[in-house]
Structure 1
Amino acid sequence: MMFYGPRIRQARELREFTQGKLAKAVGVSQALIASIETELRLPSEALLAKIAQALTLPIAYFSEPQSLEIPPSSLLFRARASISNRAVTEASRVAEHVLALATSLAKHVDIPVHVHPLHCDPTEAARRIRELLRVPPLEPIPALIRSLERLGIWVLALPVLKDRDAFCMWIEIDGRSIPTIAVCMDQPGDRLRLSVAHELGHLLLHKDKLGRIRSDLEKEAFAFGAELLMPEAAMRKELLPPVTLTTVSQLKPRWLVSMQALIRRGHDLRIVTERQYHYLFQRLSAAGWRKEEPNPIAIERPMLIRKMAEVAYGTPLDYRSLAAACHMLPQEAERLLSFYAAPKAATSGVTSKVVSFPRKRVNA
């Protein structure tokens, strides 16, 4: 059978195996694994079967070239500057795995993209997106992820990845550019919304600069996210001085952002003075709310990718056929899709239309 060595490296990093750990698991030397990954040596069928078993992937996974590679250097994680290179590499491999599933599903459906890079300041960009979403300037966006999915943005739900929030990229599929946001689902609902809004800012404002670590780009993405989720006009109407913890605790469930985000937004807009700002954060710390605020916001899970799977493989999902097409085991396909909401599900307190799109015509 055809064999591609770089796929072993990709799978090994996906499973967080070093070359030494994989070599020990299959009973060979590290040098042999290194030679196989660089295709200086070919594995026997028996050894390839052991490698597939150790990495819990079907042998077919190694029979096709890597269709998509996300360079670890292209990933930027919000507020996570201390992430190790190994952790970033793992995240890129997980994203590639989830993207492989998504791109396989995209062969069966047409998903139009309604957003494009914007060449304006972050505040104006956020206002344009709110207009595109048909959200009034004085109202919150109740279902942010659903709304972005209806614009054709892929929101990938990643398994738990410690200390990582979200990253974004434009991917090319059949000559089309797909805006994609990958989010780790082990974060509070309010932080998840800010992470998604922040990455959307990068997607729209910095398409040709993604992967560059620059403070000015991060500042613009934060400004975009703040205006998108907490528009200045609304904040000046509702976040009235003197701002107190009671004030922000009452606004939190309406705007679906953290108390801390509201305080920072008030400070940025000069509604909250420097002295008030520090005092409010001291109060938050004293109450133990810097790490865990009261009245948590429900987590909104993406839906689009699961809907694509149901269009392609029916309801209930035929995981065996889906997994075979994506070169993964059925139980893994089921696990990856478990992070998505079922199309009829809704986040508590949030209502929205189900994303819909036509099935592609397949010639007989």
Structure 2
Amino acid sequence: MRNGTPGFQSERLVEARDSRGLTQVALADLINRTSSSISRWEAGNQSPEPEALETLARALNLPISFFLRPKLQHGDNPMFFRSMASTTQALRRRTCGRLHWAEEIALTLQEWLDLPAVNVPRLDVADYREIREADIERMATECRRAWGLGSGPISDVLLVMENAGICVVKEEVGSGAMDGLSHWSDADHRPYVLIAADKDTCARSRLDAAHELGHLVLHARVKEKTLADAAAFKEVERQAFLFAGAFLLPGETFAAEVWSPTLNGFLPLKERWKVSLGAMIKRCRTLSMINDEYEQRLWKHYSSRGWRKAEPLDDIMPVEVPRLLSRSVRLLIDEGIRTREQLLDDFRLPATDVESLCGLPRGFMTSSGGDLVTLPRVKERQPPAVETAPGSATLIPFRGRGN
């Protein structure tokens, strides 16, 4: 009998296959094995022999060490998928796996860096049916107050979220049916968000991010099984959308600037608030600035102008990008604490995945860095750590791992 690979973690194979968007049959075809072999390996009934593991690693483009590290326990907090109703289970599993990989990267970085402390208000309600619109407006205001945003336009939503301790990933997911996902991790009690970049415009990205923030704030105590009910999921999504509108367009301030609730009247406000015209229509209805009949007239004019596919200003408003993970990786390299090769060994992921999840330029993790622009370094600080400028990280003493 051929011996399997000592230390093989069957859960890692499931995670890797899901993250690559492969079925058991598809993976079996790639490595010229039977799907029943894949099934036995994933169930933990049998581990692949060393030669088979090497073949698996090549097919899945992952280092062998990935399959030998126990899977991180992320906890049972729900994973919120925007557009869940129109996405396949395979796409949900793939994006969930990608976000979990980002969590592992962040946890590894926290061995050397202090990421921004988590400062995200949460509604202490376990039953979504008890959440009222007044609660949603209040929590949106509380977030703005906690983060010192005032009541005007937010210049950069992703930066604000990252400064509050939220790790944000933005990458293409290969489908227009997925807008984003989010959850609270039990591994470091930090919220994580993935924003799909497939339909990336400034206003769309900001709304998607604010929507995911709504889930983190409003639904932190909602159980996973609740989301399996279609009616419950629809209401939870509605609540997150209402939060996004309230967070991006505070009622009193926004209403005072709407001199005319028309499409032409919204145009100058879009550039100022960086929010889509469609979101403004819905926000005006939520604030009772327009009635149902007038809202429908606006939507008809909106559609007749072809704005459901693309709105004015979409092509000139700069798209926001996450900074936290990319700056953290650059900081460790620039300060000589870890080399690119060491970080890849630490992450146990290939360079292409690290670059995509961290928002780094393609080739960054395999380059010597000579052709790349180096970001300004943060000043050295002695422990205990002190508050840093928004978006930065504090370097803490190197602990017990050699270069």
> Shared fold (TM-score greater than 0.5)?
yes
Contact 2:121–2:139 at 8 Å: present in 1 too?
Answer: no
Equivalent residue runs for 1:86-125 within 5 Å: 86-111=90-115, 112-119=117-124, 121-125=135-139
Counterpart AA for 1:189: C
Other structure's SS at 1:168 match: strand
Contact 1:4–1:64 at 8 Å: present in 2 too?
Answer: yes
- Pairwise CA distance, 1:338: 3.2
- Pairwise CA distance, 1:246: 0.9
Structure 2 residue aligned with 1:207: 220
**Structure 2: how far apart are the matches of 1:78 and 1:336?**
19
Which consecutive residues of structure 2, in runs of 5 or more, have no partner in the other structure?
Answer: 1-5, 125-133, 362-372, 377-388
Equivalent residue runs for 1:148-227 within 5 Å: 148-162=161-175, 163-173=177-187, 176-187=188-199, 188-209=201-222, 211=224, 212-213=226-227, 214=232, 215-227=234-246
**Structure 1: how far apart are the matches of 2:97 and 2:299?**
38
Note the aligned Cα RMSD (angstroms).
Answer: 2.5
- Pairwise CA distance, 1:89: 1.1
TM-score (norm 1): 0.89
- Pairwise CA distance, 1:70: 7.4
- Pairwise CA distance, 1:289: 0.5
Q: Deviations over 1:161-192 (max 9, x none)?
A: 4121112211123xx41122221122322121
Structure 1 residue aligned with 2:331: 311
**Structure 2: how far apart are the matches of 1:18 and 1:217?**
30
- Pairwise CA distance, 1:130: 1.1
- Pairwise CA distance, 1:80: 4.0
Asked if 1:266 is matched to 2:278, the reply is no
Going from structure 1 to structure 2, the CA distance change for 1:186 and 1:37 (only over 3 Å counts) comes to same
Equivalent residue runs for 1:335-354 within 5 Å: 335-338=356-359, 354=390
Equivalent residue runs for 1:1-364 within 5 Å: 1-69=6-74, 74-111=78-115, 112-119=117-124, 121-137=135-151, 139-162=152-175, 163-173=177-187, 176-187=188-199, 188-209=201-222, 211=224, 212-213=226-227, 214=232, 215-241=234-260, 243-296=261-314, 297-314=317-334, 318-338=339-359, 354-364=390-400
Going from structure 1 to structure 2, the CA distance change for 1:292 and 1:186 (only over 3 Å counts) comes to same
**Structure 1: how far apart are the matches of 2:22 and 2:89?**
14
Going from structure 1 to structure 2, the CA distance change for 1:3 and 1:334 (only over 3 Å counts) comes to same
**Structure 2: how far apart are the matches of 1:45 and 1:284?**
60
Contact 2:171–2:198 at 8 Å: present in 1 too?
Answer: no
Counterpart AA for 1:170: W
Q: Deviations over 1:278-324 (max 9, x none)?
A: 12211111111112111113210110111221233337984322111
% identical aligned pairs: 26
Q: Deviations over 1:19-65 (max 9, x none)?
A: 11111211211111111112222212111111100111111111111
- Pairwise CA distance, 1:360: 2.5
Q: Deviations over 1:255-284 (max 9, x none)?
A: 101011111111221212323211221111
Going from structure 1 to structure 2, the CA distance change for 1:69 and 1:249 (only over 3 Å counts) comes to same
Going from structure 1 to structure 2, the CA distance change for 1:266 and 1:146 (only over 3 Å counts) comes to same
TM-score (norm 2): 0.81
How many positions carry a matched residue from both structures? Answer: 352
Going from structure 1 to structure 2, the CA distance change for 1:116 and 1:330 (only over 3 Å counts) comes to same
Contact 1:172–1:178 at 8 Å: present in 2 too?
Answer: yes
- Of 295-304 and 314-323, deviating more is 314-323
Other structure's SS at 2:184 match: strand
Counterpart AA for 1:302: P
- Pairwise CA distance, 1:69: 5.0
- Pairwise CA distance, 1:332: 3.0
**Structure 1: how far apart are the matches of 2:322 and 2:137?**
25
Going from structure 1 to structure 2, the CA distance change for 1:22 and 1:70 (only over 3 Å counts) comes to farther
**Structure 1: how far apart are the matches of 2:374 and 2:322?**
9
Q: Deviations over 1:93-126 (max 9, x none)?
A: 1112222222211221112122242348111111
Counterpart AA for 1:133: W
Other structure's SS at 2:395 match: coil
